[in-house]
Amino acid sequence: MTRNAAPPDYYAILEVSEKASAAQIRDAYKRAALKTHPDRVANDSPEREQRTRRFQLVNDAYYTLSDPTRRQEYDLQRGYYRRSPASDPFTEADDTTGQGYSWAWDFFENENGGTTPGGRQAAEDAQFSDAFEEMMQDEGFSEGRTPNQQGGNASTMWGMVGAVSGGALGFIVGNVPGLLAGAVAGNRLGAIRDTKGKSVYEVFQELPQDDRARLLSQLAAKVFSHVASPP
């Protein structure tokens, strides 16, 4: 597939209008990423492959529309291929560009065509990591300040913060095992962030799959409680 392919409808993928503001696009990205994240289902789930692809397209959409220069160029390219809105923009994207292909990464990052999966994956992880931590803070799942801003014993402080946020997650789940698992995960968040400098999302990625799925589902429920669309 070459960069001459028609670009996917990234506005439809994020469910925003072509006149959406930067803030509206970011909020839409958070919702779409939570809705499609592959870790919300088991590794052997038949949904996993489709979720992975949709999550990639959501990240491609945000990568393109969150940057004013890329968005302007995308709008120009999209104007060359005007067509009726598709009932499913995800399916249309694959029908037009091919399964697994990234129009955004190819057009904006690769001079000679073809994708570089490692670079694309790193960009995708960085994008969602930033949004994930922001959502965790906004919804009360994690602490928003750094150890240096806290003062006192950083290790003890972050361990306590982690335990509290993890315990809160357990209470939301509504059972004692959930509380215990949440507290353990929370302590791990605090300890690893303090001693190794890992981000909340990096630690999240190291959790067992069941814990990742539960945390994402609970975070999605909180985020979508502010809007009409279901998680």
Residues 122 and 150 both lie in one domain: no
Determine the pLDDT at residue 190.
53
Look up the pTM and report it.
0.75
Residues 154 and 45 both lie in one domain: no
Residues 50 and 119 both lie in one domain: yes
State the total domains in the chain.
Answer: 2
Residues 124 and 144 both lie in one domain: no
230 lies in a domain? no
SS3 of the chain: the string is: CCCCCCCCCHHHHHCCCCCCCHHHHHHHHHHHHHHHCHHHCCCCCCCHHHHHHHHHHHHHHHHHHCCHHHHHHHHHHHHCCCCCCCCCHHHHHHHHHCCCCCHHHHHHHCCCCCCCHHHHHHHHHHHHHHHHHHHHHHCCCCCCCCHHHHCCCHHHHHHHHHHHHHHHHHHHHCCHHHHHHHHHHHHHHHHHHHHHCCCHHHHHHHCCHHHHHHHHHHHHHHHHCCCCCCC
Residues 173 and 63 both lie in one domain: no
pLDDT tens sequence across 139-154: 776 544 443 343 333 3
Domain of 173, in residue numbers:
140-224
User: pLDDT confidence of 63, banded at 50, 70, 90?
Assistant: very high
Average pLDDT over residues 151-164: 42
Determine the pLDDT at residue 66.
96
Residues 198 and 119 both lie in one domain: no
Instruction: Look up the CATH number of the domain holding residue 54.
Output: 1.10.287.110
1 lies in a domain? no
pLDDT tens sequence across 86-130: 778 888 887 766 667 888 888 887 754 444 556 788 888 889 999
pLDDT tens sequence across 207-216: 788 888 888 8
**Over pLDDT 90: what percentage of the chain?**
33
- Per the prediction, the chain carries an average pLDDT of 75
| 191: pLDDT strictly greater than 80 | no
Choose one of 128, 157, 176: the last residue of a domain. Answer: 128
2 lies in a domain? no
229 lies in a domain? no
| 219: pLDDT strictly greater than 70 | yes
Determine the pLDDT at residue 120.
80
Residues 19 and 121 both lie in one domain: yes
User: pLDDT confidence of 230, banded at 50, 70, 90?
Assistant: low
Window from 48-52, 138-142, 212-216, 217-221 with minimum mean pLDDT? 138-142
Residues 150 and 120 both lie in one domain: no
| 1: pLDDT strictly greater than 50 | no
Average pLDDT over residues 150-176: 43
| 69: pLDDT strictly greater than 50 | yes
135 lies in a domain? no
155 lies in a domain? yes
